Copies of this chain bind each other. A is one copy, B any other.
């Protein structure tokens, strides 16, 4: 036993090295589809978008007031106002019908099109109407003042959004602004999920003696959904080699990515590893990661399909999904960097120890106190699902650290 444990220890990779070994096989996006911009929120852009025209396409006023030739206002003050003749009004959504010449002005509202001849706008607050056709101007304006120039928002041909960008609400608005109403995005990935274990029954069944309900395939399906992809639950498979192998082969055929949530015992984890190794080339890339919880994680490629063997307990399962599966889905969708992850900073309520040379994760509850956010560690056996339910997030202790100290600022990755 001692020899085996030592061998395993020497073979494990850091989480970063482990993911990089898998990452070299990942190219994205796999498939693309064209969708209406209205339905593109959170999708990954599969084309670069350049502006088809200038925005705005005409000079616009940013204030309610009067369009003027700036030169006509030079030197104007409360004591010595400039007198301008109102020669018309710009109507919203229409081209100006009149152009001011020397000492003339045109009434204009915010967003109105600046008439030819005018080069600035005087705010209505800095004017006084003398009669229907004359105003006094109390301040001078510089050429271009209170005006958005043609192309000031974006120029024709300007890069608006890069390939791999995840579309947000303001991107939807920005695309509409330049008349782009559909975009090419990465197709959502189908992620197959197999739960292994003789003791697992479906949640709607009454477990018999020694049996428990399936947790992981539902937690995983929900995490796949949260990542913007399509979970395909492929059922609970008993710890029988040929049954598991058959389910896995079928999973590789029908899904873009396959997750096997292994049983909890060492022998069923070994069976999962053997099944994955049997599926094809290039095969198992990583077996064991210097990570707690989550050490017995398996990362594999079968043809073009990433296959994950995740540990059976719920906490390990969530940690390893976040570390390995979520970045894989992101990369296969053509996304760059790491997938977006909600997190907050908080101070730790107490010391937490850790073994150096291993990346540790522990659960915390976040408390808002008058002096800011505090992260209170929630300890519990990692087999307990309600340790997770009662937590708000998790905190990482880096490989090279022996722990974290009370009062230290930490990043809480919110669940």
List residues of chain A with CB under 8 Å of any chain B CB.
Answer: 1-2, 5, 37-38, 41-42, 55-58, 60, 62, 64, 90-96, 109-113, 124-125, 148, 152-154, 160-161, 168-174, 176-181, 197-200, 203-204, 206-216, 218-219, 221-223, 225-226, 239, 263-268, 312, 314, 318, 340, 342-345, 381, 383-389, 414-415
The docked-state distance in angstroms from the alpha carbon of A219 to that of B168 is 9
B179 pairs with A204, CB closer than 8 A: yes
A110 touches B57 (CB 8 A): no
Q: Which of B42, B168, B388 contacts A174 (CB 8 A)?
A: B388
A148, B181: Cβ atoms closer than 8 Å: no
Q: A110-B266, A113-B210, A389-B161 are in contact. Are A221 and B170 (CB under 8 A)?
A: no
Assess the B200–A93 pair: CB atoms within 8 A: yes
Give complex CA distance A210, B96 in Å: 8
Distance, CA A103 to CA B197, complexed state (A): 30
Question: By the criterion CB–CB under 8 Å, are A176 and B161 in contact?
Answer: no
Contact A342 B345 (CB under 8 A): no
Q: Are A197 and B148 in contact (CB under 8 A)?
A: no
Q: How many copies does the complex hold?
A: 2
Q: Please, which residues of chain B bring their CB within 8 A of the CB of A160? A: 386, 389
Instruction: Report Cα–Cα, A265/B90, bound state, in Å.
Output: 12
**Which residue of chain B has its CB nearest to the CB of A37?**
B218
Distance in angstroms between the alpha carbons of A60 and B1 in the assembled complex? 23
With A93-B199, A179-B204, A213-B176 known as contacts, the answer to whether A153 contacts B386 (CB < 8 A) is yes
Compute how far the CA of A318 lies from the CA of B170 in the bound complex, rounded to whole angstroms: 8
- List the B side residues contacting A312 at CB < 8 Å: 110-111
- Report the Cα distance A110→B199, complex, angstroms: 11
Cα separation A199 to B181 with both chains bound (whole Å): 19
The residue on B at minimum CB distance from A314 is B173
What's the least CB distance linking A165 to chain B, in Å? 10
Q: Are B222 and A91 in contact (CB under 8 A)?
A: no
- Closest chain-B Cβ to A215's Cβ sits at a distance in Å of 4
Q: Please name the residue on chain B nearest to A269 by beta carbon.
A: B110
Distance in angstroms between the alpha carbons of A37 and B152 in the assembled complex: 49
In the complex where A170-B415, A173-B216, A218-B37 touch, is A94 in contact with B388 (Cβ < 8 A)?
A: no
Cα–Cα, bound, A344→B409 (Å): 13
Question: In the complex the two chains form, what is the Cα distance from A110 to B265 in whole Å?
Answer: 5
Residue pair B381, A177 in contact (C-beta under 8 Å): no
A267 to B90 Cα, complex, angstroms: 14
Q: Which B residues are in CB contact (< 8 Å) with A178?
A: 213
The residue in chain B whose Cβ has the minimal distance to the Cβ of A108 is B265
Contact B37 A210, beta carbon cutoff 8 Å: no
How far apart are A122's CB and chain B's nearest CB, in angstroms? 13
Q: Are A197 and B111 in contact (CB under 8 A)?
A: yes
Q: Contact: B5 with A125, CB < 8 Å?
A: yes
- A196 CB, min distance to chain B CBs, angstroms: 10
Asked if B381 and A148 make an inter-chain contact with CB atoms under 8 angstroms apart, the answer reads: yes
- Interchain CB contact (< 8 A) of A219 among B112, B124, B172, B207: B172
A160, A173, A386 — most chain B CB neighbours (10 Å): A173
**Given that A64-B265, A111-B197, A170-B389 are contacting pairs, would A58 and B215 also be in contact in the complex, using a CB cutoff of 8 Å?**
no
